[in-house]
Structure 1
């Protein structure tokens, strides 16, 4: 009798975490991780944070770790399609893997807008190690750099470029970079951090076209401005890699739709990480959460669920971003209707901000304030009502407040029965 075989498509942090969770849950069948890149599965966050892309490519686990846990790696091969009739994963080139269950951890790809001239050389997106090598090879030749789109990856690349003394301009369609994920108060602080480090920020503009002879030389904006550019990094969002799921007939809607355990509505197909459209227990809304920590935890939970240990990731969503030697950390998810307050004394170099929803802490973010953020995360976990002025007062000991709110309420005193 053949062993049960689970195939994980995508060597992402979600996929590797799922494979390890299967083993830790006692699964003794075969586990195979397939990835199109010809590299040992590696961490993606450092790619936009390091000037040396070779130093940035850090394996998630050493190669021997996979061997020790009986996890087979098939790298450098793309999955062509899923043959659900015969329960097989068909590889590019004709190879096949029998699969009792398939987990998609295929992540996302950078969105391209079809802007005229975007086929010119030295115009890049940043999602892979190969992308990072091309970008930073260009930056080591010199600037200027134009970053199109003020998201986290673009801003991290801008910060690295400034440490290399490269001239940097950020072009953002909205009023401020990071306005969507952070709101105006915190986005304003982060924008001022970049401006204070010599970055030019142009907001409310988009790119009309790229100009050059074979390679990009100028970025032409819709208002007619012409920005000289030796390198362009485009960060205008992502699209989920959900094509394999869609081809099987599984429901996709802004990602692969899954239940709380990572199951799709297709009998043998599961999904985890950035590609999965899930209802996180902390948010109550269906969405994709594109954070490394969330993908790691979701992958582990889905991997355990696939092998008979139903598990839900209920940890508060967390992410971090390193810029100019400072670390921005955030727990929770922001909504546009949240009440945002910033702790007194906030400056572009250091701050803590809180998002309140119905009087309860829904999210916290801090730049170079790790202790305050950790304490606020404990407050968030209690789901207790907190007055905004308590959070914004710099004299409030957040750690003590967290301990007090986390302490279970004392049981009411019991009256002794009266003897008669």
Structure 2
């Protein structure tokens, strides 16, 4: 959607057709964990109103699936038999949730969350009450745990790693998130995996763990990662890798007329240690717009720091940039599970930041990162430091902020 709209807004003159297997007008995915739990269709939030597509002359083919890309004929074949000519093709096929590879994983009450239909199914089971077992303490798993607890449902989260989201925020911040959820009554079991899902023809009734424990379950939601949807790329004989579809800095694949964007793109990015995926809403919008601009004749690189957020218990966790193992962690004084600010310092500057319920501070830090302001770790750690004041001082042309560590 983002690529198509940007192309037209930059006066791309050709026909633009957007094909999506989902029957709904393109909608925002992040709110699904809350907006559709009651099964209401009106909970969907359109990315753009219907009139935008009409005004921009973008042909929507919703509820249809692309089954093949023919690189010799430059055509795209749809599930209903239609064949579309394609001078340029953008693959924004995204990712698919991984399934558990254990006995019982195909039962009707073993669920995942990726689209509106998934959210409705989860909503049906939540309406029946618990106990609910969530496998995987990533963003989706923790958000669903928060939603369920707010409804009074008994929730157990099973996580294979020692701490939830440690790959994204490190061990210290992950401990705060663990305490947040346990404080709200979530039973969070870490360092264990699912061995078997036990039940009857009607569905799973128990979850057996690798340490032998058995958890009662009225439903199981699985959030253990995703796999890129590379099928169409392979049908077009486009190169793929373990991350998805490799693209250059402008989103172009190994075939010059085919581009890839969003979750499926295996991209070079200055905030990644190497090629990889950036699976966030903000990144999909910005990368899509960059690819759209490129196709309209104005090449744009997507280099913005990745931004992610997660709503949990009425507060918002925000993350800007990607922390690295070599960064120095600085935690602001007074950190608690429901309110904290953590910085990762790289060569004297902020390389990444994470905060819970501190949106104005995150906004200031994001701008400090953009202008590359050198910082003092001692200043960042102090609770009374005015980050917006530091930003104004820097923007006002007075040079580096006071109490700055020397930069090598």
For the superposition of Structure 1 and Structure 2, which TM-score range results when normalised by the shorter chain? Answer: over 0.9
- Once the two structures are superposed, the pairs formed by residues 274-353 of structure 1 within 5 Å of their partners are 274-283=263-272, 285-353=274-342
Task: Specify which of 240, 254, 257 is matched with residue 265 of structure 1.
Answer: 254
> 2:230 matched to which residue of 1?
242
Alpha-carbon shift at residue 329 of structure 1 (Å)? 1.1
For 2:43 and 2:96, how far apart are their aligned partners in 1? 19
> 1:12 matched to which residue of 2?
none
Number of corresponding residues: 395
For 2:79 and 2:337, how far apart are their aligned partners in 1? 49
Equivalent residues of 1:49, 1:323 under 8 A apart: no
Equivalent residues of 2:71, 2:237 under 8 A apart: no
Does the alignment pair 1:399 with 2:384? no
Larger deviation, residues 164-173 vs 336-345: 336-345
> 1:369 matched to which residue of 2?
358
Q: What TM-score comes out, normalization by structure 1 length?
A: 0.91
User: Which structure's CA Rg is the greater one?
Assistant: 1
Equivalent residues of 1:49, 1:322 under 8 A apart: no
> 1:140 matched to which residue of 2?
127
> 1:389 matched to which residue of 2?
378
Q: What secondary structure does 2:254 align onto?
A: coil
For 1:318 and 1:63, how far apart are their aligned partners in 2? 27
Larger deviation, residues 140-149 vs 336-345: 336-345
For 1:391 and 1:353, how far apart are their aligned partners in 2? 9
For 1:384 and 1:249, how far apart are their aligned partners in 2? 45
Alpha-carbon shift at residue 382 of structure 1 (Å)? 2.1
C-alpha spacing 1:369/1:380, structure 2 compared with 1 (3 Å): same
> 1:380 matched to which residue of 2?
369
For 2:93 and 2:381, how far apart are their aligned partners in 1? 41
Q: What secondary structure does 2:204 align onto?
A: coil
> 1:158 matched to which residue of 2?
145
Alpha-carbon shift at residue 408 of structure 1 (Å)? 4.5
Equivalent residues of 2:38, 2:127 under 8 A apart: no
Alpha-carbon shift at residue 240 of structure 1 (Å)? 0.8
Alpha-carbon shift at residue 136 of structure 1 (Å)? 1.1
Larger deviation, residues 137-146 vs 330-339: 330-339
For 2:38 and 2:347, how far apart are their aligned partners in 1? 45
Q: What TM-score comes out, normalization by structure 2 length?
A: 0.94
Indicate the RMSD between aligned Cα atoms, in angstroms. 1.3
Task: Specify which of 180, 187, 190 is matched with residue 203 of structure 1.
Answer: 190
For 1:337 and 1:210, how far apart are their aligned partners in 2? 40
Does the alignment pair 1:192 with 2:191? no
Larger deviation, residues 47-56 vs 354-363: 47-56
> 1:179 matched to which residue of 2?
166
C-alpha spacing 1:355/1:52, structure 2 compared with 1 (3 Å): farther
Alpha-carbon shift at residue 366 of structure 1 (Å)? 0.8
Q: Deviations over 1:268-320 (max 9, x none)?
A: 11011111011123446311100000100100110110121111122221111
Larger deviation, residues 305-314 vs 65-74: 305-314
For 1:408 and 1:363, how far apart are their aligned partners in 2? 24
> 1:8 matched to which residue of 2?
none
For 1:232 and 1:336, how far apart are their aligned partners in 2? 33
For 1:282 and 1:290, how far apart are their aligned partners in 2? 13
Alpha-carbon shift at residue 242 of structure 1 (Å)? 1.5
For 1:409 and 1:163, how far apart are their aligned partners in 2? 48
Larger deviation, residues 160-169 vs 312-321: 312-321
For 1:105 and 1:126, how far apart are their aligned partners in 2? 18
Does the alignment pair 1:63 with 2:46? no
- Once the two structures are superposed, the pairs formed by residues 73-92 of structure 1 within 5 Å of their partners are 73-92=60-79
> 1:360 matched to which residue of 2?
349
For 1:43 and 1:163, how far apart are their aligned partners in 2? 22
For 2:43 and 2:147, how far apart are their aligned partners in 1? 12
For 2:248 and 2:160, how far apart are their aligned partners in 1? 34
> 1:231 matched to which residue of 2?
219
| 5+ residue gaps, structure 1 | 1-15, 411-420
For 1:265 and 1:376, how far apart are their aligned partners in 2? 37
Q: Deviations over 1:232-287 (max 9, x none)?
A: 11000001112211222222111110111110111211011111011123446311
> 2:156 matched to which residue of 1?
169
Equivalent residues of 1:241, 1:255 under 8 A apart: yes
For 2:252 and 2:396, how far apart are their aligned partners in 1? 36
C-alpha spacing 1:208/1:374, structure 2 compared with 1 (3 Å): same
Q: Deviations over 1:206-256 (max 9, x none)?
A: 000100002010000011100000011100000111221122222211111
